[in-house]
Amino acid sequence: MSSPTSSAVPAEVAPAARERDRARGGQYRDHRVVSNGAAHDEKIGPVAYGWLSVATALTTLALKAVAAWITGSVSLMSDAFESIVNVVAAVLAVVALRVAQRPADDKFPHGYEKVEYFSSGFEGALIVVAAGGIVFEAIPRLVAPEPIQSIDTGLVFTAAATALNVAVAQVLFRAARKHRSIALEADAHHLMSDVWTSVGVFAAILAVRLTGWHLLDPFAALLVAANIVRIGVSLVGRSMRGLLDAGFDGEEAEKVRASLDALAAKHAIEFHALRTRQAGSRRFIAVHVLVPGTWTVQHGHDLCEEVEHELRDLAPRTTVFTHLEPIEDPRSFDDQHLDR
């Protein structure tokens, strides 16, 4: 379903369209949000990638748990701890991705995309807790270091888990960009942070093997914990910005402005009160369109349709609101504040 331009709708069809709107739950609701919400014609949807990350997290957790168990290393254990968090986080992300796909309805007329911020925020909080667990295990080992066993076998398992993480993380990064999903991006970042953790722990264990200095093991574990806290804090911060309706980022905002500048020059009109908003993978743009007051409704609406179309074409899943006003009327310029 798409919204036809009014110029293309014969006069006798328009009332029928209005009836359809009413039957859908009210003529005041934006039909585009309703119709686009469920539009997912991609071959592999974001949810499938979510399941891929669940499977990866479970596999790496198993590999690392074996490595930690046979070596008795606290740093390898901290690495496995991080994977437990990844499993929980990946499952949460799948739930969020499923909910985010729901079409907008009467209760949530702006769609469900922002639910992804809950999962990434919770995920961030969760990994900070995991870091606490690692510190709890590592401190006693600093006081009384314990030797590590079967180092070589342990390292083989860690290397296998790391290779798997690298491969899947690259797949997820690409999918996250394509679907503009913060949940998939968080998943991918997790797997990569897991990789760096494993690389660091791998180096530490290798150093223990070469030098016999067992204190390196709990030291490495504490470094892992510090890095996990850093990632968790940034994930929580990102989710909070999303819940506070952050505007478009630099490059995206620039594209919108360039598009409006081109339209203003082309039609000799003006724009003001531009407001952009990110909501998970959806984008909202609101802008006032100032045209000569003598224009007909038809002329003005045709222009608004063009403006909305241009802006919607900048990125998928974008909702545009325009407000048409006469450029000669001073009141047109008094309405640019948030309170209007």
Task: Give the residues lining the site for Zn ion (CB under 5 A).
Answer: 288, 332, 335
* 37 CB neighbour count, 10 Å cutoff: 23
Token pair of 197, please? 């953790």
Token pair of 291, please? 């045209």
Residue 27 or 153 with smaller CB distance to Zn ion: 27
Confirm if 95 and 101 have CB atoms less than 8 A apart: no
Residue 152 or 335 with smaller CB distance to Zn ion: 335
Residue 12 or 334 with smaller CB distance to Zn ion: 334
> From the CB of 289, what's the least distance to Zn ion, in Å?
9
- Give the phi and the psi of residue 234 in degrees, each rounded to 5: -70, -35
Q: 3-class DSSP state for residue 5?
A: coil
Q: What is the dihedral of CA 318, 91, 242, 122, to 10 degrees?
A: 170
> From the CB of 321, what's the least distance to Zn ion, in Å?
11
> From the CB of 314, what's the least distance to Zn ion, in Å?
19
Q: What is the dihedral of CA 174, 180, 184, 185, to 10 degrees?
A: 80
Residue 282 or 288 with smaller CB distance to Zn ion: 288
Residue 144 or 268 with smaller CB distance to Zn ion: 268
Q: Which residue is nearest to Zn ion (CB)?
A: 288
Q: Which residues pair with 175 in a beta bridge?
A: none
Q: How far apart are CA 323 and CA 288, in angstroms?
A: 5
Q: 3-class DSSP state for residue 291?
A: strand
> From the CB of 110, what's the least distance to Zn ion, in Å?
18
User: If you search the block for the tokens 């948030």, which residue do you land on?
Assistant: 338
Residue 238 or 288 with smaller CB distance to Zn ion: 288
> From the CB of 309, what's the least distance to Zn ion, in Å?
11
> From the CB of 183, what's the least distance to Zn ion, in Å?
33
